[in-house]
Structures are given as C-alpha cells and as structure tokens.
Structure 1
Amino acid sequence: MPLVAAVTLAWALVLLTPLLVRLAGRYVGWSLGLGLLASYAILVGARDGGVVFEELPWVPALDIALRLRMDGLSFLFATVVLVVGAIVLIYSTSYLRARASTGFYMMMSAFAAAMLTLVLADDIVVLFIAWELTTICSFLLILRSGQNARKPATRTLFITAGGGQALLGAVVLMIATTGTTQLSAILADDVWRDDPVITSVVTVLVAVAAMTKSAQFPFHSWLPDAMVAPAPVSAYLHAAAMVKAGIFLLMLFAPVLAETTLWHVILIPVGLVTNIMGAVFAIRSKDIKQIFAYSTVSQLGLLVAVIGIGTPLAMMAASAHVIAHALFKASGFMAVGVIERRTGTRDVRELRGLWRGMPWLSPAIVLAVASMAGVPPLLGFVTKELVIDTFASSGSSLAIGLTVTIVGGAALTVAYSVRLLVPIMVGPRAEVAPWRDSAVMSGSVAVTGIAGLVLGVGVAGLTGLVRPAAAVSSGSPVADLPTLYLWHGFTIPLLGSVAALVAGTALALFYLKSSHAVEDNVPGTLTATGIVQATLDGIISSGHRVGNLTRHDSPAANLAVPIGLVAAAAFALPSLWRGMPEHVMGFDYVDALLLAMVVIGTVVVVRARSRLTALIMLAVVGFAAVLWFFVLGASDVALTQLLVEVLTVVVLVLVLNRMPRMFDKGTRVRKSVTVPIALLAGVTATLATLTFSGHRDLSDAGAFFLSEAEELTGGTNVVNTILVDFRALDTLGELVVLSITAVSLTALLDARRLSRTRHVPVAPTILQDPVRNVIILRDSGRFLIPVMIVISLYALVRGHGAPGGGFIAALIGAAGLATVYHAAPTNRVASLDRSYLGIAGIGIIVAVVTGFLGFAEGSFLRPLHLDIAGIHVTTALIFDLGVYFAVLGVILAAINRLGMPQPIPADAPTPTEARTS
C-alpha cells in the first residue's frame, strides 16, 4: 500500500523529529528533507499513469475511512508539497544555524504531512481534518516567531479557521445529500446535475473556504500579516502549503461546480480584483518580504480567475502555473532570508549593489524574479502565455475585456518585479556578511531559481505532470489536452506578454523616479488588517459583556440562573404531564425510609450554620442514594456512588480546613426568594423525570446491550462493556477531561497559593496529640491498606464480568492511598509525594495506544479478543487499565495538592502581593 506508506512516513517524521534533533543536531533538516523525498519516491514508484486507490477502515459505522487516492491532480500537488518541503527543510539547517529547534522542525514536518494527507485524501472527512491541521500548523509556526507574532497569528487563525467552518458546512451538506463520505463517489454523484440548490450552496461554501485559505479579497490581509514568520515558514507557506490548499480545493471541485454560473461569477471577479490589488500593494511596499507577500496575493488571484474560467486550457494553465509559482516563490522567500542574514535589512531603500556583493546568489534571485515577471525563456513566461491564451480563447462575450485586464495585471507584475530588482542590484558593491554561514541557504535558492530556467527551456518535459492534473480538474480526457511548448509562434498571448513587459518596465522606472519610491508608507485610516483586528476586538469585547452578566465569585450567584430556569420550567409541565407512572403507584417502606433520609439530610444541609455539619449531612444524602441504587439492583452504579461519596468527603474536608468554619448568615429577604425557587426547581426536576422517562419502557439501545453484550464482548457486566467496548470513545473523552481538570487544578494552585490552615485552639486533651490520636488508624492501616490495593486490582480484573472495572477499581485504590494520608500524624507524607499528573498521563497514553490496536480489527478502539492458555483475554482490559491510571492519578493529585504543603519558589509572591496584583 504505497499511498498509506508515503503518508505514514510523512507523519512518522513528525514523531521522530525529537530523536533526529538529538542525533543530528542543527543538521536535522537534511534528515527530514530526505525523508520527504523518500515519501515522494514511494509515490513516484506507485504511479502507473492511472488512478491509485487505497483504503483503511476508521469509523465503519459512519462510513469514514482513511481513503487515499492518487490521480494526476493529487500527484501534481504532492510533488510540490514534498519536493519544495524538502528543499525548505534543508535550507532551514543553515537558517537556524545557532541551534536546532525541535518545535520548529516538528511543526514544519507536520505542515508537510498535513498537506500530503490533504491532497491524497479520498474521504471528505479526512480532507477536512487535514485542512484544519494545516490551519493549526500555520498558526503555531507564526505564533512561535516572537513577541510581535501573537496578533498576526491570531488574525491569521481567525480568517482561515472561519473558512474552515464554511468547508465544514459544505462537507456536512455533501455527506447528507449523497449518503457517503468517499470523495470520488461524491464528485460522481448525480446531485450536482439534479439539484441546483445544493450545488449553489456548496459552490458558495467551497469558494469561501478556498478564498480564505488562498488569501483572496476580502480575506487577503492575513497573508502579508503573516510575514512576521521566519523565511523558511514564509517560503513553504507561500510556495507549497496553506495557500496551495485553497487552489487544490478549487481545482478538485471544478469538474462538478464549473457547470454553474455562480462558480464563474464568484471566482473570476474575485480573482481579477485580487490580482490587480495585490500587484498595486506590492509596487508600493518598501520591504522585500512584503513585496513578495503581496505578489503572492496577486498571483493567487490570477490562479483563482483562471480556475474560474474552467476550460481544459484554463486548467492546463492553472496546473502549470502551480509549479512555476511554487518555484519562484520558494526561491524568492528563501532569498529574502539570505539577504536579511547577510545585510541585516529587508528595506529596499537601504539595499544597493547586491549584484557585486553577492555574485553567486544574485543570478538565482534574478532568475526567480524574472520567472515571476514572465520573462522568456523561464517557466513563468510559458505559464503567463497559457493564462493569456485562456482568457483570449474563453469564448465569452467579455473575452476582450478579460484579456486586457489579465495583460494589465501581468504588466503590474513586471512593474513590481523591476521595482524590486533594480534598486537592490545596481550600485556600488554592498557590504555583506561572509557567504560561508549561508552556503546551504544560497544553494537552496539557486536550485529553485535555476529549476525555473531549466523547466522553462525544457517545458515539454512537464507535459506528463501537467496534463493529467488538468484532465482531472477539467473532467476532460488527457489526450484532448495540448502539449506544453516554449515557443508557440507570433500569437496574441505573445503580443500580450511583450506588451506587459514593456508597459511594466516603463511603469516601474517611472515609479522609481518618483518620491513615492523612497518615502515611508503612510498608514491609512482603514486597512484590511485593521478591520480584522477591530472585528476580533469587538468579538472579545462582546464576549466579556455577555460574560459579565453572569460572572460572579459566589457559587450561589452562578447557580441562580440554571436553577431559576429549571424552576421556571414548572409552568410548562402541566401541558406535558401524563399522570403518575403505573409502576410507582404502590407504597414501599424501603423507598419511604430512603426518601425520609434524603429529605431530612437536605433540610439539615440547608439549615446548617457549620460547613462541616453541612458536609456530613450531604454525605448522608449521598449514602441514601447509594442504598437506593443497591435496592434497585444497580450494584455497579451504587458502588461507584459510594466510593465517590467517600473521596468527595475526603477532598472537601481538605478544602474546608482552609475556609471559615461557619457560613455567612443569610438575610430573610434572600431566604424568602431562594427557598421557594430551590423547592420549585427540585419539584420540577422530579416531575420532569417522571414525565419524560417514567412512562417509557426499556429503550432499544438498552435492550440491545442486555441481549448482545455477552456475545459481542465476552463480558457479562453490561455497564462495564458499555464503558470499555461499545462507547470506549466517550470514556476516552471523559478521561481527557478529567486529566485537563487535574492540570487546571495544579496550575490554579501554583498561581495562587493556598491560604494557611486555620488552627482552632482546643483544650489540652489526648485528641490534641496527633501521634496518639491516629494510632488506631495507623496500625489498622498496615493491614487494611494492602488489602484495599489488592481489592482494587481484583475489581479491575473482574470488571468485565462482574461489578467492578477501571473506574471503580481506581476509586478503591485512591481510598486506600488516602488512608495513608489520614493515618499520618502530620500533613507531610513522603510516601505519597509523587507525580500523580504523570500517572494520569500514562493512563491516557495507555488508553490511546489500546485504541490504535483496534485498527487490527478495522477501527479505532475496537477491542481485540484472544484466547491464551484457555483464558479469554480482551484489549478492553488494557483500556480499562488506562482508565484506572487516569482516575487514580487525578484523585491523588487533588489530595496531594490540597492536603500536603508544596515547596514555595524563592521568587513566589507573598499572599499580600498576590492579592494586590
């Protein structure tokens, strides 16, 4: 399975990066670059001229699978992603010469792996996940660029993630309409021909998603804004990743959406406006990197407009220009990194004489910029002629106007290219740093720059790569598409190219003589970046205002809204009430006794003035609920509730030890309002339960679990089989939430130290002696604690067939270890001072790894069943072990952090400083 192998290798590089950094140091980029080239070699070996399809099950119940498909279009983009990615990673070994950054290389490798997954995906869900992963990778790579990168990274995430939501809407609509997640099946469905409404909605959603990713007007601001990222990130983002994802999406859906007028109406005007606008901004820029950034916006607009034409020739032009654009953009941005490294500036007004100062690098830079400008015989010239020919032969009534517009955009491209090259190349020899430290960087620039020349002269050799991609994106046979040539004779496209070169050069020279070329740009009162930032600030400010309506330090105030809403629901119950369920009409003395315990305990809790009294009576209510569960036969639930009640009391006692002994005395007015609301809410909740579930028999799901659990899982404890077999993914999510809670608790207690324990003076009695006071618990604990640990492990093992399981077992084990703390004469218990967050993390890892074992049977978290020496074994037990570790770690972390004193850092603020900060 070569496609799976190629994708797996790409993602394996991400996981292996820390090890490779340790082994190779700053040269790790070579290893990662060669790894990407190895992945590309696998794809080249698998390419036989046809379509390669592979599939691995993932979520069979939802028809989601790791489906991979390599056709001409996906192979073209995979070539760009992997080859340019390899060059950029090798370039980075010299750019990051001081040290190897593990985080940088992991994110860059993940960027490449996500893009490869995206272009090879044949499952719409997998494509969407990879699409969002590219968004996350770009955000993190920009964010880690320095202190000034936070806002640009946030603005980038805001725009691109918004486009992701549009794509999500399209994905859901396509799955719901076609009934499948297989991308090739979706594209071949009749819905595109039979349902114009669905087609139009998907057209808008896909176009918006692609335009946000490819920085089209009005979503263009994020791309120049992201230039705070280092040169390798910019080179890869502009040349082969992120922005290319949007172009790929448009070309992928073009065969089915290009039949609608809306497709052309959206893409062509937006693309042309972006093309002209980006070129104008590039001419006015003074920063070399910003010139290249706006030129990317302009070139992407050109690609979008060409895709909007949708003809086979248009797709031929788009496919060829994807390669040309990748080469001159990678070369350009990597060159910016070299120039900045060797001169210390990117300001075009400060740079002079680079042709003499960098005699080996300057020709490569000139080749890259000349290809961007469309100068013959470079590859950019070939693709520019194809683009002009596309509009001239489009057959539209607007063909002349569109062609003139494209030629005008090409002239502006020449203008900003000349405006960039002339000032920095001419003049006396520039003072630059030695070339040796940037030799690899210069070599990478030269490779991509010279490639544009070689592939321009020998462009016919690209036909085998470009024609299959154009055939897929246009829905035409490969044989109907033309061969690429450098020279087509004296044609309209050639006339347009010459006109663009002449007009663009004249415009650039005129601009360079004006004062605008040297004066600082005056920031306008209204900019795209400012609009995005203002929108973000407005959203955050609105969130604060909404949150302030219910934000309060008092738990009672926070609970007032939900309890009040529950109470208000009582007025709707009469219309829904269907009478008392038949099976609760009889009188049962046990139920009456337990109900009395709950009522008495609740009344005492409400009237208690002492916090400890309230806690004790709250435990009484909990124990009454435990007995009720036992009476009803829910032994698993009852045992869980019992252990939770015990450990809750333990943790709350530790909290109460640092709080006032008595509650604040409430006013009569407050009681007169809160008591009726609380009573009404309780009555409403009870009656609502009887209304919605009291008349219902056992659900179909419940009947299925009872009848099929043993046969399907081998377990007779239905509750446990639901948790670790049928709904293991839910359980895994709950473990993650528990662990995040423990981490948050630790972070909170580290940020705000606990108040001192309140010492209440007592009479000098034997109770005052801590050593003698715990002697009974300590001596009994020597036998009791090991027994509880053994019982804990026994409950873990037996959980699949009898009451028990990882959660209950962890509670028993935590209770046993908590006894060690209670039996100690002081709160300093060295034996319990362990990294319990680490234990919880191990539990998550065990659960996740067990989930991946399920792929042997077809899907994540599917249990495997084995018979070893006549004993039936299931991987659900290993998953339950992960549950055990995670729950045990979380509970003991709480006891450890709340009960035992933590070392105070030397630079920690005092309580007074913390309160005033």
Structure 2
Amino acid sequence: MVLTATLAAAWALVALTPLIARRHGPAGGWFGAAGLAALTAVIAGVALTTPGPVAEVVPWIPTLEVMLRLRMDGLGTLFALLVLGVGAIVLAYSTSYVTEKRPTGFYALMTAFAAAMLTLVLADDLVVLFVAWEITTLCSYLLILRVGPKGRAPAARTLLITVAGGLALLAAVCTVIVRTGTTQLSVALADPAWQTDPAFAGTVAVLVAVAAMTKSAQFPFHSWLPDAMVAPAPVSAYLHAAAMVKAGIYLLMRFSGAASASPVWPWLLVSVGVLTALMGAVFALQRSDLKELLAYSTVSQLGLLVAVIGVGTTTALLAASAHVVAHALFKSAGFMTVGLVERRAGTRDLRELRGLYRAMPWTAVMIALAALSMAGVPLTLGFVSKEYVLDAALTGGSGPSLLATVGLGLGAVLTVAYSARMVFPVLFGPAAELGPVTGARAMIGAVTVTALAGALLGPAASVLDGLVRGAAAASLAVPVGEIEGFYVWHGVNPALVVSLLALSAGAVLVLARARVDRVLDRPLFPVTGVAVVERIRTGIIDLGYLVGNPTRGDSPARHLLVPVLLIAAGGTAAVVARAGGLDAAPGTSRPVDVLLLLLTAAGVAATLRAGQRLPAVLGAGVVGFSVALWFYELGAADVALTQLLVEVLTVAVIVLVLRRLPAGFGAGTGRQLPRVLLAAGAGIAATAGTLAMTGWREPSAVSTWFLAEAEAETGGSNIVNTILVDFRAFDTFGELVVLALAALVMAALLDARRPQPVRRPDPPPEPAPVADPGANAIFLRTVAKVLVPFLLIASVWVLLRGHNDPGGGFIGALVGASGLVLAYLAAPSDADGRVRLPFLLVAGLGAVVAALTGLIGLFDGSFLRPLHLDLLGIHLSTALVFDVGVYLAVLGVVVAALNLLGSREPDPDPEPETEPRDDHEPEEALR
C-alpha cells in the first residue's frame, strides 16, 4: 500500500507544516520542502523498482462504487514527480520569500495544493479525480485571496472560470459513469463505447476539453492566469506555472487515447491551442511588467501543449510529455527569479530594470538559462522538447497537424522574441541599486536548481527517456515499445530546419524590437478578457439580486407562495398519474382517524382566526400535537415521540422569538380569502397526492423487507432507528452536519444583527402577582428540581435503548433539550437561565464523532458501515456511537437557540416599532 501511504503522508504534511511554521515562522517551510522531497524519492523509487502500473484500492462507499482507487502508471509518475519535486523547491524558496511571522495559512494552502494535485494524478476513480480537481481550484482561490483587498476581484474571477470548468468536468464524469457503468477511470477509458458510440465520445470529449482549457488558461478562458499574478511569486511559480495549470494538461493527456475516437477532439484542441499560443505570445510582447510577460508566455506555452496533444500521435504525446517537464522547469525558474528581482530591486518594470548582470551576476545567468530554454535554443531541454513538438506537427499527416505546423512554427518565432524581451533590457547597462542579499539565499538556490536543470537536461535528455516514454504510452494506452526513444540529436530533419528558421526569425524580431514595440503599443481588441469576465461576474450577481427580489422581505406570504404552488402542482400530478383512482385497501380507515382529522382542522381554524401571535402559536401547537397522536395511533411510536418533543421545543423557541415581535399581526384582512383558498387547495392536492402515491395501498416490498430482515442484518429490533443509523447512515450524517451548521449560522446571523425588543405597554403601577419573576416561577423551579435531572438521565437512557425500542440519538437529545428548556423557563432571569454549554463545540463534536465512527466502518470495507460485537452477552454496535454524534448535534443546536435567542441582551437604545406592521409588506430595514 505504498501509494496510499504516500498520499496519506502528503495530507499529513498539510496538518504538520503549518504547526511547524507557527513555531518557527517562515523557516517552517523547510519541513514541508523536506517532506515533499522525501515523497518525490518514494515515487521515484516505486517507479524504478516496479515494472508496469501500480494499483491500490481502499474501499470507501462500495455500494455506490466510490473507492479510493490509486494507480500510478507512466503518466501518473511523470506528473507526481513534477508536483512533488517542484513543490519541494518552491517551498524551500518560500522560506526566504515569505515575510509573515506565522505563515501558517500560506503553508497550509501550499501543501494542501500539493496533496490535492498528487491525489488528482494518482486517482483511478472518477469521483476522487473530480474532488481533487475542485480542491486545487479552492486552494488557488484562497492563495490569491490572501493577498488582501487587491486580490479579491482577481480571486473571484479566477474562481468563476475554474469552477465553470469544474462543472464541465462533473458533467463529463457523470456521463462516463452512466455510459460505462463504472467509476474506475482506467476501466472506463478502455470501454468500447468510445469507439461504438460517437455521440457519447463527442460529448465527453468536448466536456473534458472545456474543463481542461479553463484550468490551463486557453482561449476564451485565458484571462484568469495573468489576472492571478497578484499572488506572490511562490504561488505563481508553483500553482500558475508549474502545477495547477498542468492539471488541465494532465486531464487532456489522460483522456487522449479514448477521446481521440471522436473527430471533434483533434480539431478542437489544435485550433484552440494554436490560437492561444499565438495570442499569448503577442500579448507577452506588449507587456513591460516582467511578471505579466511571464504570465502571457505561460498562456502561450500551454496553448502549444494543448495543440500538440490534439495531434494525437505517439510522437505528439512524447513531445507533450517532454515539454511538460521543460516548461515546469523554465517557468518556475522564471517566476521565482521575478520574485527575487522584485524583492531586491523593488520593481518588476522592464523600463526600470537595468544592469542586473553587474549587480547580481549569478542570478542574471540563471535568468538567461531559463529564457534560453523557453526560447528553445540548442542544447537546452526546451530545445529538445520543441524539436519533438515540431516533428509531431510535421509528421501528423492530418488536417489538424497541418494547422499545428503553421501555428506552432509562428509561435516558436514569437517565443524567441518574448524570451529575449525578458533578458536583454534587464541584464545590461550600469549596475542597478539593489537591496541586501541577506535572507535571499534560499531563493537563489531554488532558482539555480530549476534553471540549471532546464539547461543541463538538454544534453542529457536520455536521462528522461523512460519517464517521458512511459507517460506517452500511458496516455495512448499502448506498449512503451511503440514509443520512439527520447534523445537530443535527431539529425538534420524538417523539424530542425523549422526550429532554426524560427530562431532566425525570432532574432530578427529581437533586433527590430523598437519597431515591434511601436506596432504593439496599442490595444489590439476593444475589450480585455478580464473586463469580459468581470462583466459576467457582476451580471451574475445582478441576476441573483433580480431573482431574489420577489422574496426580499419578511412577509411569510412571499416566501410561502412558491412552495405552496409547487405542492399543489405536485399533488395534482400525483393524482393524475394514479389513473386507477383512490380505492382504499380494507381496514385503512377507522373512526379515530376522523376524530383526529377534526381535531387537526380545529387547530388550523384557531390559528387562522387568531389576531395575536401567541394564540396563533397555541393553535399551531394543537395541530402538531394532533399529528403526534395520529402517528402514535398508526403505530409509529418513534415518529410520534419525535413529533411531540419537536412541538414542545418549537413552542419554546417561538415564544423566545415572539418577545422581539409585536403582539398582533396587524391589518390586511382583505387579502385573507385568496390566501385561504390557495392554502386549502394546496392542502387538498397534497393530501390526494399522498393518498394516491403511498397511503391507500398494500405494504410495499421495501417495508416488508425491513420488517423481515432489519433485526437479522443490524441486531436491532427498532426498525426506524436501524434505518436511520444502519441502512441510511450517510443521509443521517448529512443531516446532523446540517444541524451543526445551523448552530453556527444562527450564531453568525444574530451576531451580525442583534435582536431588538419591541416597545410594550408600560407595566401597571401597582404590584402585580406576575411582576416578580422569582415569585412567579416558584412552581416551575420546584418542578424543575425533580424533572430536569430526570429528563437528562432519561435522555441518555432513550439514547441507549434506541436500537431496540423507541428512542435513539435524535429523540434522546430532544428529551435532554426539554430538560434544559424547563431549567431556562424556571430561572428568574435570562442570565440565570443561560445553559453553560459551549453549544458550537457540542454541535461540532457531534459531527466529528459521527465522521470518526464512519471511518471505523472502513475496517469492514465501507464508510459508515456498522461494526458489531458481542461482549458478555450484550450486543454492541458502532451504530450506537454514531447515534451519540446525532445526540450531540441536536443538543448543540437547541442550546444555541436557547442561549442566542433567550439569553442575549438586546442592543441599548433600540428604535422600537411603534405600531403593528402589515406582515405582507417588506421590512425596509432588510432591504
């Protein structure tokens, strides 16, 4: 399980590196760098010692076929080494670059990105791949956002584009899973449907291409990459040059063998790639900011990679694999150099930087080496990879290959021009005034490693032979023997001729750079990509505001109109679908049902007739208690008990809210009749639909199976509880997480806008029996002394018995919460009634306990699978521990309601509402 252990170690670094940084400051980055370097060595060792792919599986949710499947073939090895190796170098660079005293957030996000990228390139499961893809998006967004106010808009625009690509990938993942019947990536890519179903292959090809192009900054999604350059140099060097943008390239290479079955694939990739390569190169020639120049050159180089992947031959994928390595080295070196120069010179402007060769000769040489490799000058690694790129285009033998030949040839010319632009203006001239070199040694070392590697691996290209050939073979799912060797000299061939012509033409542009600058010193388009994305972003926000307008207010009628109409429509549709009528099964209707129906109707009528809020609450309580009795009468003791307890607590919480509201509902009776008719119609339709679909029929096969098999499967005789904590535990887990979040949201909302009391009539001047809270609550205090401990103990008892008898974590928590409510009501003041429990911690602990219990289930092959144990004749199950998590989450949210609504002192000198307000009118303060 070496891959699983490696991945676990990478995620462990995410937790440990920030802790080290908290104690040792920026130097804590050395720990993360050492960890990533060690993992690089592990991956390299596995690749060298294990012939063929390495595959491992850790079951997660087997019933949904979701598993942590890991597979390291040649392509996975290439990108894993790239992610970990460059990541280690960049983290080492960061130890000198970062100036924060405790850069815990920076190191946490950088190591999280590395772990997510490693998960992405090793994933052999489509679901895991998608999750890792989205984590990289989130890390990029947060790292840009850390810059401060100037990073907010670029971060939002970057997130908008990359999340859109994530949605395209999600659609592709779902389509592949449905069509091939598996989530295993390697199996899905080998499915014959790619060749036999053109619609499927074409659809997935387009979706995957769009997803990859958003991440790899291809036209028209290119604007986010230069926009993201507000991020610091280590982020640009790692995420936006060497790793994150390569996620899109990895995705294209991974799907290349299967998706190339569709004729859409090569034309789409080559045309977009060529356009992006040329556009990015021209934009780079326009820039005087060194970092922006590198950003647009990155866009151009990524376009070259996309185009050559689109060619699709074995030579093309070999070229793509080699250029991935070359690009990662010279681009990371370039961005790290920019950070070093900016730190010492105080500027990135090419018009101000001069004489760096005299001021910092070693760094100047490294800048030159990176630029030479980017330009493809012999004998750098960039030259070798460019030779293979041009050779792939020239020998492709198809329409897309011809387009790639012309486009990439022109791109090579422009690459020479912008590579020279970043070198000649800054290296020569009188020595620049620089800051001290102290503290920059790690930066210089990191730049040296990447720049020298990009230069020296050219003559020693054969060292990369096994790595790049393995990646190309894995991309096309062919044997490695079908891939030609990787070496520096090919002899005199058409690719070499085109390369030399490109260098010559590029040199001409360099010599004529003054004229080129004059030609390009103007906007080439009437609008920029950033402006378009920003307009889309603001348009989406405006659309959201427009859509939300109908419910922008505090009128319940506004909010209830849509669900009521949908209920009416759904009920009517169910009745229509049940064309056979509503024939009742024998014995399904009894006189007591009619009695309870009348009692419920009386409660509804009392609520409708109430002119004050408190009587309306009492009327609604009658409805709730009637429904609880109805559940009990039908034999659903668990549901009845839950309903009863929820009604008790709901009434208590509503009363706390009512203290902040006017006593009456106000006017508006002229609109009552339409509302009554609409509500009555929706109720009738919903009742009829329920009867049609579930009520008047024989027991279903599912319910019969649960009645017969639940106890044998779970060891529990309470079917309701076993469904919640055994069979549907994942649903219950989601619900208790929502409860924990509800407590958090309640605290955030009430902190943002504290409740204010409503002006009440002045109290009577003479003492009244109810004026003294101490005397008034003496009965409750006496009862509470007995009932509160009893209810708390009973809540634990109900929790423990829930697997076999009515009860469980939810009901137990409601019982305990009832005791806390009683204690609050018996207290003489809000402050005395405050529950001394950290409610957010309790609610969060519930979610953590449930999650850890779910992880225990992995020992039996599935997340949240209950494990059983017989101890001293007593049957135990981890489902009980899971129920404890439910108990804590429910208890936490109820305590949050009591403490925040009941014990919060109002703001001083509020502006009270002087008269009742019509509830159908929106509250201006909420606008």
For 2:330 and 2:700, locate their aligned partners in 1 and report how far apart those are by CA, in whole Å: 63
Alignment CA distance shift 1:285-1:768 (3 Å): same
Q: Structure 1 stretch 772-781 or stretch 401-410: which is displaced more? A: 401-410
Deviations 1:441-500 (A, max 9, x none): 111011100111221121111112111111222333322333322233333222222222
Residues 238 and 329, structure 1, Cα contact 8 Å, conserved in 2: no
Cα deviation for residue 790 of structure 1 reads 0.5
Cα deviation for residue 406 of structure 1 reads 2.1
Tell me whether 1:552 sits opposite 2:553 in the alignment. Answer: yes
For 1:574 and 1:463, locate their aligned partners in 2 and report how far apart those are by CA, in whole Å: 69
For 1:15 and 1:398, locate their aligned partners in 2 and report how far apart those are by CA, in whole Å: 47
Alignment CA distance shift 1:389-1:580 (3 Å): closer
TM-score (norm 2): 0.95
Amino acid at match of 2:12: A
Q: 1:466 aligns with which of 468, 478, 484?
A: 468
Cα deviation for residue 705 of structure 1 reads 1.9
Question: Matched residue of 1:670: which SS?
Answer: helix
Deviations 1:795-820 (A, max 9, x none): 11111111111101111111111111
Amino acid at match of 2:695: G
Match of 1:711 in 2: 712
Alignment of 1:472-491 (within 5 A): 472-491=474-493
Match of 2:635 in 1: 633
For 2:831 and 2:685, locate their aligned partners in 1 and report how far apart those are by CA, in whole Å: 47
Tell me whether 1:602 sits opposite 2:615 in the alignment. Answer: no
Match of 2:184 in 1: 182
Question: Matched residue of 2:275: which SS?
Answer: helix
Question: Kindly, what percent of the aligned residue pairs are identical?
Answer: 54
Match of 1:887 in 2: 890
Alignment CA distance shift 1:916-1:223 (3 Å): closer
Q: 1:273 aligns with which of 272, 275, 278?
A: 275
Alignment CA distance shift 1:587-1:259 (3 Å): closer
Match of 1:534 in 2: 535
Amino acid at match of 2:18: P
For 2:572 and 2:405, locate their aligned partners in 1 and report how far apart those are by CA, in whole Å: 69
Match of 1:444 in 2: 446
Q: Structure 1 stretch 395-404 or stretch 851-860: which is displaced more? A: 395-404
For 1:112 and 1:206, locate their aligned partners in 2 and report how far apart those are by CA, in whole Å: 22
Cα deviation for residue 197 of structure 1 reads 2.0
Cα deviation for residue 538 of structure 1 reads 1.9
Q: Structure 1 stretch 263-272 or stretch 76-85: which is displaced more? A: 263-272
For 2:268 and 2:399, locate their aligned partners in 1 and report how far apart those are by CA, in whole Å: 17
Amino acid at match of 2:338: V
Alignment of 1:316-465 (within 5 A): 316-396=318-398, 402-465=404-467
Q: 2:806 aligns with which of 803, 806, 810?
A: 803
Match of 2:18 in 1: 18
For 1:106 and 1:729, locate their aligned partners in 2 and report how far apart those are by CA, in whole Å: 29
Q: 1:209 aligns with which of 200, 208, 211?
A: 211
Question: Matched residue of 1:432: which SS?
Answer: coil
Match of 1:492 in 2: 494
Residues 866 and 872, structure 1, Cα contact 8 Å, conserved in 2: yes
Amino acid at match of 1:10: A
Match of 1:698 in 2: 699
Cα deviation for residue 69 of structure 1 reads 0.7
For 1:439 and 1:684, locate their aligned partners in 2 and report how far apart those are by CA, in whole Å: 75
Alignment of 1:44-443 (within 5 A): 44-47=44-47, 48-396=50-398, 402-443=404-445
Tell me whether 1:864 sits opposite 2:849 in the alignment. Answer: no
Residues 155 and 532, structure 1, Cα contact 8 Å, conserved in 2: yes
Amino acid at match of 2:690: T
For 1:13 and 1:104, locate their aligned partners in 2 and report how far apart those are by CA, in whole Å: 13
Question: Matched residue of 2:57: which SS?
Answer: strand
Cα deviation for residue 52 of structure 1 reads 0.7
Match of 1:775 in 2: 778
For 2:387 and 2:483, locate their aligned partners in 1 and report how far apart those are by CA, in whole Å: 16
Deviations 1:727-763 (A, max 9, x none): 1111111112222222222122111121126555246
Amino acid at match of 1:748: L
Match of 2:901 in 1: 898
Residues 585 and 698, structure 2, Cα contact 8 Å, conserved in 1: no
Residues 575 and 688, structure 2, Cα contact 8 Å, conserved in 1: no
Amino acid at match of 1:19: L
Alignment CA distance shift 1:479-1:757 (3 Å): same
Question: Matched residue of 1:391: which SS?
Answer: helix
Q: Structure 1 stretch 212-221 or stretch 796-805: which is displaced more? A: 212-221
Match of 2:916 in 1: none
Deviations 1:222-277 (A, max 9, x none): 11111111111111113332211111111111122224322211111111111111
- Cα RMSD for the two superposed structures: 2.3
Residues 869 and 875, structure 2, Cα contact 8 Å, conserved in 1: yes
Residues 349 and 518, structure 1, Cα contact 8 Å, conserved in 2: no
For 1:890 and 1:280, locate their aligned partners in 2 and report how far apart those are by CA, in whole Å: 58
- Structure 2 unmatched ranges of 5 or more: 914-923
Question: Matched residue of 1:56: which SS?
Answer: strand
Alignment CA distance shift 1:264-1:36 (3 Å): same
Q: Structure 1 stretch 642-651 or stretch 37-46: which is displaced more? A: 37-46
Alignment CA distance shift 1:419-1:568 (3 Å): closer
For 2:575 and 2:872, locate their aligned partners in 1 and report how far apart those are by CA, in whole Å: 62
Q: Structure 1 stretch 750-759 or stretch 334-343: which is displaced more? A: 750-759
Amino acid at match of 2:245: V
Match of 1:617 in 2: 619
For 2:710 and 2:660, locate their aligned partners in 1 and report how far apart those are by CA, in whole Å: 47
Residues 60 and 68, structure 2, Cα contact 8 Å, conserved in 1: yes
Q: Structure 1 stretch 510-519 or stretch 740-749: which is displaced more? A: 510-519
Match of 1:754 in 2: 755
Residues 340 and 443, structure 2, Cα contact 8 Å, conserved in 1: yes
Amino acid at match of 1:888: L
Tell me whether 1:828 sits opposite 2:831 in the alignment. Answer: yes
Tell me whether 1:6 sits opposite 2:6 in the alignment. Answer: yes
For 2:592 and 2:857, locate their aligned partners in 1 and report how far apart those are by CA, in whole Å: 46
Alignment CA distance shift 1:910-1:334 (3 Å): farther
Residues 36 and 85, structure 1, Cα contact 8 Å, conserved in 2: yes
Question: Matched residue of 1:595: which SS?
Answer: helix
Match of 2:667 in 1: 665
Alignment CA distance shift 1:604-1:285 (3 Å): same
Cα deviation for residue 295 of structure 1 reads 0.6
Cα deviation for residue 833 of structure 1 reads 4.0
Cα deviation for residue 567 of structure 1 reads 4.5
Question: Matched residue of 1:360: which SS?
Answer: helix
Question: Matched residue of 1:582: which SS?
Answer: coil
Deviations 1:117-168 (A, max 9, x none): 1111111111111112111111121122221222211221221111222222
Q: Structure 1 stretch 312-321 or stretch 748-757: which is displaced more? A: 748-757
Residues 270 and 404, structure 2, Cα contact 8 Å, conserved in 1: no
Residues 739 and 841, structure 1, Cα contact 8 Å, conserved in 2: yes
Residues 373 and 410, structure 1, Cα contact 8 Å, conserved in 2: yes
Q: Structure 1 stretch 751-760 or stretch 302-311: which is displaced more? A: 751-760
Residues 23 and 102, structure 2, Cα contact 8 Å, conserved in 1: no
Alignment CA distance shift 1:716-1:392 (3 Å): same
TM-score (norm 1): 0.96
Question: Matched residue of 2:69: which SS?
Answer: strand
Cα deviation for residue 599 of structure 1 reads 1.6
Cα deviation for residue 611 of structure 1 reads 1.2
Residues 605 and 615, structure 1, Cα contact 8 Å, conserved in 2: yes
Residues 308 and 320, structure 2, Cα contact 8 Å, conserved in 1: yes
Alignment CA distance shift 1:570-1:219 (3 Å): closer
Question: Matched residue of 2:171: which SS?
Answer: helix
Alignment CA distance shift 1:801-1:214 (3 Å): same
For 1:124 and 1:356, locate their aligned partners in 2 and report how far apart those are by CA, in whole Å: 53
For 2:606 and 2:801, locate their aligned partners in 1 and report how far apart those are by CA, in whole Å: 39
Tell me whether 1:733 sits opposite 2:734 in the alignment. Answer: yes
Question: Matched residue of 1:65: which SS?
Answer: strand
For 1:772 and 1:405, locate their aligned partners in 2 and report how far apart those are by CA, in whole Å: 90
Alignment CA distance shift 1:736-1:451 (3 Å): same
